[in-house]
Amino acid sequence: MNISFEAQKTLKRIIAELNLSHLKPKQKSDFLTRIEQGFEPLFTQLFPLYGERYDLHFHLATLFQAFADFSTKRRPAKIKDSDPNWIKSNKNVGIAVYVDQIADDLSSLIDKVPYFKELGVNYVHLMPLYLAPEGNSDGGYAISDYRTVSPNLGTNKDLKELAAALHKNGIRMVLDFVFNHTSDEHEWALEAKKGNLEYQDYYYFMSGQEANEFNQTVREIFPQVRRGSFTYMPEMDQHVWTTFNSFQWDLNYKNPAVFVAVVEEMLHLILNGCDVLRLDALAFVWKEKWTVCENLTKAHNLIKAFKACLDIAAPEVVFKSEAIVHPDEVNKYIGSDECTLSYNPLVMALLWESLATRKTPLLYSSMERSFTIPNDTAWINYIRCHDDIGWLWDDEVSGRLGINGYDHRLFLNQFYTGQFEGSFAAGVPFQANPTTGDCRVCGTLASLVGVESAINSGNELLLEHALRRIKLLNGINFALPGIPLLYQGDDLGVLNDDTYLQDPDKKEDSRWVQRKKLTESDFTMALDASTPQGKIAQLVRGMIKVRQENTIFAADEFELIHLNSEHLFGFIRKTDDQRLLTIANFSEHPIFLDGPLSRYLHCNQAKDLITNEVVDLPNLNIIEPLAVHWFIN
């Protein structure tokens, strides 16, 4: 079949059916130009998914009418910086925050704009803020209505005002696009429960036997919540697909009506004024019997189809992929026709692995395999987030280094949950799987690097080490190519918070240990440089400032450098006339260099941007315990 020809033919038919009478002449001509450009890329992705469906044409017509209507809608004032290449800028520093944990609600969050500015943040991810079930809503990731802000947080108008305030201050707004599932209280789910067949087809309902067949090959994500991936609905005598919690129903994208309906919800999210949409749990969106139902080829067709819709409706908005899966699969979501940005869960996990082992070979080998991505895309580099840490590296890579993947994950889980003698970390386990022995780790940055245990033991040296680890991790995270993303409170040295254990809706989900409501005292303590929190706040701010003042942090050219010790890690960023060498020592011992660093910087004197000291490279023989440097020529 000649897809290009078929696309042209279909588009002509669709245009003839559209009602464009409410579009002003300029809106209409812009709209037609955009759909003429955007139709074929969309059709090319939808055809493999729905080419066999008798009703595809109807759904396409509905979709394009939605685009036409959308083109007449007003959005909050856009951000002034219209540089399409903004993702590469050294000015970029992000933070992820819960509206009601960093402030009280959306309107009081406007008062935090000066704090973001002072910190140097220009990208704010607002954790899910839409209508969700009372009680447990998986931190808002169970959405009951994409078009309504949760009343606890304010109104849609408040959200638009916040977007305008952020934009006025040069800050981009990131919202979640939770499109793998809705809550069981979403209107579609309520209709399905009532027996409405049209809406039952929005989800995966099946018999116990069929669910059981799927369970043979599908990974369990929350094994402590429930075994398998299905929830039995007694009133329907059916099993519904629930990858996550039982109240999060997976959407059935085999039904083209679901695709169109979800695009319409996506357009509503964009009307709030967001600049980036975070594609939540995108690996799970396509399912086929006897497969793992993650990262399937058709999941990519589907995401590319969403991207083609985005390019038609709001080309300045970009997608960020949240694929916390095998590194090879993470990379497949990244591309100019799919997700422009992606979390970097591999480097995140391996930085923690290197801290525990004090060794960097697995970090190097994994980055060599997976760090390079297309030039028009960027990593979102992070150290901690609202979720758990999963140990997702490639076992063949670790195997080549003589590391048994299974055993090593067991070790890391024990290390970070304080079950390993001598560990500095105070993390908590998350979702231990009784069958596989697998588990993940939660905790704040400060607690995981040892600040908490050092404070408890009153040991100054341990505290010093813990603070150095924070500097080291940030020193790498702020210097790697990509956008560094902070997690709320980690810039303030916030420790684990156990109060979730008192809340029946939260106590089973240890991720709440790192989701503390920030208090006035958290912010003021960070101003006092004599406290560990104040030291952390100062060093984070200092590094952000340096990053934003030096365009070398935007350099495209990147190279890992191999040093003589397995405790060291180093890389350079370079332009034609400048080089930045980041070098870190993951051990608590000084490490001797086997030769001068001049060979990487092509000069004898370098400035360490972190301390502002000029260093004579030929005389620099050791890297101090847990030290990190930013040497620039």
Q: Is 509 a catalytic residue?
A: no
- Contacting ligand GLC (CB under 6 A), which of 324, 356, 445, 597? 324
- Contacting ligand GLC (CB under 6 A), which of 185, 264, 388, 452? 388
Minimum distance of ligand GLC from residue 282's CB (angstroms)? 9
- Contacting ligand GLC (CB under 6 A), which of 244, 333, 416, 500? 244
DSSP 252: -
DSSP 78: P
Annotate 75-108 with DSSP letters as a single string.
-SPPPS---TTGGG-TT--EEEE-HHHHSSSHHH
Which one, 339 or 479, has the nearer CB to ligand GLC? 339
Residue 156 tokens read as 């849609």
Annotate 348-380 with DSSP letters as a single string.
HHHHHHHHHHS--HHHHHHHHHH----TT-EEE
Pairing of strands 172-177, 276-279: parallel
Which one, 281 or 455, has the nearer CB to ligand GLC? 281
Q: Which position among 220, 275, 322, 452 bears the catalytic label?
A: 322
Q: Which position among 105, 280, 388, 394 bears the catalytic label?
A: 280
Minimum distance of ligand GLC from residue 15's CB (angstroms)? 37
- Contacting ligand GLC (CB under 6 A), which of 102, 281, 454, 539? 281
Minimum distance of ligand GLC from residue 463's CB (angstroms)? 30
Evaluated on CA atoms 147, 153, 155, 157, the torsion sign reads: negative
From the list 22-30, 133-141, 461-469, 488-496, the region that binds ligand GLC by CB under 6 A is 133-141
- Contacting ligand GLC (CB under 6 A), which of 138, 250, 452, 522? 138
- Residues whose CB is less than 8 angstroms from the CB of residue 297 and which lie 6 or more positions away in sequence, other chains included: none
Minimum distance of ligand GLC from residue 56's CB (angstroms)? 29
**Site for ligand GLC, residues 171 to 200, rule: CB under 6 A:** 178
**Is there binding between residue 129 and ligand GLC (CB under 6 A)?**
no
**Taking the CA of residue 8 as centre, how many other CA atoms within 13 Å lie in the half-sphere pointing to its CB?**
4
**Is there binding between residue 352 and ligand GLC (CB under 6 A)?**
no
Neighbours of 284 (CB within 10 A): 26
**In the beta sheet, which residues pair with residue 182?**
249
Which one, 45 or 183, has the nearer CB to ligand GLC? 183
**Is there binding between residue 387 and ligand GLC (CB under 6 A)?**
yes
**Is there binding between residue 141 and ligand GLC (CB under 6 A)?**
yes
Give the per-residue SS3 of 401-450.
CCCCHHHHHHHHHHHHCCCCCCCCCCCEEECCCCCCCCCEEECCHHHHHC
Pairing of strands 130-131, 145-149: antiparallel
Which one, 386 or 579, has the nearer CB to ligand GLC? 386
**Is there binding between residue 439 and ligand GLC (CB under 6 A)?**
no
Q: Residue 298, exposed/middle/buried by CB under 10 A (0-12, 13-18, 19+)?
A: middle
Minimum distance of ligand GLC from residue 127's CB (angstroms)? 8
Minimum distance of ligand GLC from residue 324's CB (angstroms)? 3
**Is there binding between residue 266 and ligand GLC (CB under 6 A)?**
no
Q: Is 322 a catalytic residue?
A: yes
Sheet holding 557-561, edge to edge: 557-561, 568-574, 579-585, 628-632, 605-608, 613-616
Active site residues: 280, 322
Q: Under the rule (CB under 6 A), what is the footprint of ligand GLC?
A: 138-139, 141, 178, 221, 244, 280-281, 322, 324, 386-388
